[in-house]
Amino acid sequence: MQTQGIERWTGLVMVGDGVAGLLWPREYLRKLQVGPKLMNDVLEACVQRPALTRALCLTEVALGAWIFSRRST
């Protein structure tokens, strides 16, 4: 089905995005700072906490890998 392909691509993008955040937490977040001020304030708070950023990115990698590896029924 068509949605299975979309789900797999979503999982793959999440893994790549999460790995980038794991490797370069501060640089990664600073590149995301576009948009509303509230969002930028949250991102800046995460820049000051790279361990938290890495933990969130690790969660994103795990979730993305799970989505990517799921089998369609």
pTM of the model: 0.79
46: which residues sit within 8 A by CB, 6+ positions away? Answer: 25, 29, 52, 53, 56
Q: Please report the pLDDT score of residue 1 as a whole number.
A: 54
Identify whether the C-beta of residue 71 lies closer than 8 Å to the C-beta of residue 22: no
Q: Please report the pLDDT score of residue 65 as a whole number.
A: 95
Q: What is the pLDDT along the chain (73 residues), one digit of tens a residue?
A: 566 788 889 999 999 999 999 999 888 888 877 888 998 898 888 889 989 999 999 999 999 999 998 875 5
